[in-house]
Structure 1
C-alpha cells in the first residue's frame, strides 16, 4: 500500500528535519564552546561567599599549614608578607605567632659590608621566599614546567558557567570560581580513560582548565599533613583548606571590602529617601 504525502505534510517533515539539524548543530556548538571554555567545576559552599561572608580563621590556619608543608616546595607566594598573617581579616595569628612562623624561613639578604649576599631568618616585614632562585631553576626542577606563584592564584584561575547561569551570577555576585577550581583540580587526578593517554611527564586530571593533562603530579594525599586542631587529614579537607587560604592571599581585604560596601549601600538607600522627601517638600505647593 502506497502512502501519498500532501504538500503540507512534506513541508512539515522538512521543517522538522531543519529543526532537528539545527538542534544537533546547537548541541555540537554548545559542546565545542564548553570545551573551549574549559571544564565546568561544581560550586562549593564557602564561609566567605556572599555579601556577608567571612573567612573561617581556623580553616585559613589549616590551609597555611598545607601550603607550608606541601605547596611551598614548588610554588612561591611572593606578594604575601609574613606580617599579613597577623592582620585583621586573615588567619588570626598573633603578632608573636607570625614572627615565629617567619623565623622558620631562610631569606636571602645583602649585600653585607663585604659585598656578599647572605641568608638570615625571616622577619615580619619579609615576603614569603621562593623555593627557587629563578624561573630557569624552577623549570629544571619540574621537568620544564613552571610552577605558578600562588599569591593571586585564586583570582587568576577560574572557570565560567555558560548561558544562562552567568546571568544569575551577575546578580548574586558569585566570585568563588577560583577556589572552586583549585579544590576540584586537587581532587581531579584520575586514571586516564582509554584513548586519552597523556604524554611523558603529564598526568590526567578531569578538572584541568587547559586540557586534561597536567604537568604537576598529584601533590597531596590522605594523611600527608597532620592538623593541630584534630581535623581529619583527608584529601578533601586539605583541598578545601588550602583553597580557602589561597582565596585569602588573593583578596586579603575581602571582609573589609564587604563591610564598606554594606555601609555604602545603606547610605545610598537613606540618601535616596532623603532626596525623595526633600523633593516632595520643595515642590508640593507648586502647580504642575
Structure 2
C-alpha cells in the first residue's frame, strides 16, 4: 500500500511539473515580454586585450603600477580594496621602502597604546587597504544613496570582468534620442549617469576618468589618455582578483606536459606488453 501511495505521489508531482512547464512555455510563446529600455539598449562589453590573457600570458608590471596609480589617485576616494595588503604591492615591482611609503600615505583604523581608544594611524605594509567611508550610511550619503563596491575581486564578480570594467569606465555618454523616443519614461534620473554597459543603464558613479592627462604618468610610459588609463586600471584589477595568476598558469602548463608524457609512456608500455598477444 505504501509503495502504491509513493508512486501516486511521485506521479502527481511529475504531472504538476510537466503542466507548469507546458503552461510557462505556451505563455512565453503566445505572450512575449514587452521590450524594455534595458533589453534594447544594454551593450555587451567591448573587446579588449591584456598582457595576462591566454595560457602563456604574463602580467605587465609597468602597466600594473600605472593601474595602481589610477586606483590610488582616482578610485580610492570611493572604492576599497579590502582583500589587498600594502605588502602585496611588492609583487608589482615596488621596493620595500616604496611599499612603506605608500602604506604611510593611507590612514587606517588603530588603537592608542596609552588609552586603548580607537584612532587613525598611518598604514603599515602588513595593513590592508582601508575603506574610504566609515560605514554604509556615510557611503550612501556621499554617492547618491549608492554604496560603491569593493574592487578587490571585481573582475571575477562580473561577466567578462576586465572588459566590463574597461567598457564601463569609457562608456559614459548622453542618452540616445532613440531611447527617449521609444521609452520616454526611461530618462536618466537626476543625479545618475547614463552608461549602456551598466545593467540598468543608469548608475550613481560619475565618470571617474574625464580627460586625457588626468593622471600624470612618469617617463617611459604611454600617453595617459582616458582609453589607456581605463586599460591600466582594469589590468590592475585583474591582478587584485587573482595575484597568483602567473603561478597558476605555470603550474597548469607543467601538469599538462606531465600528463602528456605519462599518456605517451602508458601507451608505449601498453604496446610493449600486448604487442605479441592475440585478442
TM-score range, shorter chain: 0.7 to 0.9
Distance in 2 between residues matched to 1:64 and 1:218, nearest whole Å: 18
Counterparts of 2:111 and 2:101 in 1: how far apart (Å)?
Answer: 22
After superposition, residues 205-216 of structure 1 pair within 5 angstroms as 205-208=195-198, 210-216=199-205
CA deviation after TM superposition for structure 1 residue 217, in Å: 1.0
CA RMSD across the alignment: 2.1
- How far apart, CA to CA, are the structure 2 residues paired with 1:83 and 1:99? 8
Q: Judge conservation of contact 1:204–1:214 (CA < 8 Å) in 2.
A: yes
Asked if structure 1 preserves the Cα contact closer than 8 Å seen for 2:100 and 2:124, the reply is yes
1:233 CA drift (Å): 2.1
Contact residue 221 and residue 234 of structure 1 kept, 8 A? no
Contact 1:112–1:118 (8 Å) recurs in 2: no
TM-score by length of 2: 0.80
CA distance in 2, matches of 1:280, 1:134: 68
Cα drift, residue 59 of structure 1: 0.5
- Per the alignment, residue 58 of structure 2 pairs with 54
1:37 to partner: Cα distance: 11
Counterpart in 1 of 2:210? 221
Output the CA distance in 1 between the equivalents of 2:41 and 2:176.
Answer: 21
1:42, distance to aligned residue in structure 2 (A): 2.1
Match of 1:164 in 2: none
- The change in CA–CA distance for 1:278 and 1:185 in structure 2 (over 3 A counts) is same
Question: Which of these residues, 69, 75, 84, is aligned with residue 65 of structure 1?
Answer: 69
Deviations 1:127-178 (A, max 9, x none): 00111111121111111001000100111122xxxxxxxxxxxxxxxxxx21
1:150-229 mapped onto 2 (5 Å cutoff): 150-158=151-159, 177-194=160-177, 195=180, 196-208=186-198, 210-222=199-211, 223-229=213-219
Aligned partners of 1:67, 1:244: CA distance in 2, in Å?
11
Shift of 1:48: 0.6
Alignment of 1:1-288 (within 5 A): 35=39, 39-87=43-91, 91-110=92-111, 112-158=113-159, 177-194=160-177, 195=180, 196-208=186-198, 210-222=199-211, 223-229=213-219, 230-288=221-279
Mapped to 1, the partners of 2:173 and 2:207 lie a distance apart of 10
Distance (whole Å) between structure 2 residues aligned to residue 241 and residue 143 of structure 1: 27
Per mean C-alpha deviation after superposition, the further-off stretch among 42-51 and 67-76 is 42-51
1:38 Cα offset (Å)? 5.2
Partner of 2:24: none
Listed one character per residue, the Cα deviations across residues 100-128 of structure 1 (whole Å, up to 9, x for unaligned) are 21111111112534220122221111000
Q: CA deviation at 1:200?
A: 1.5
Match of 2:10 in 1: none
- Partner of 1:273, secondary structure, is helix
Where does structure 1 differ by over 6 angstroms across 4 or more consecutive aligned residues? none
Matched length: 238
Cα distance in structure 2, aligned partners of 1:77 and 1:203: 24
User: Alpha-carbon deviations, 1:164-197, whole Å to 9, x = none?
Assistant: xxxxxxxxxxxxx211111111111101123152
Counterpart Cα distance in 2 of 1:198 and 1:212: 8
Distance, in Å, in 2 between the alignment partners of 1:85 and 1:260 is 22
Q: 1:168 aligns to what?
A: none
Distance 2:116 2:42 in 1: 50
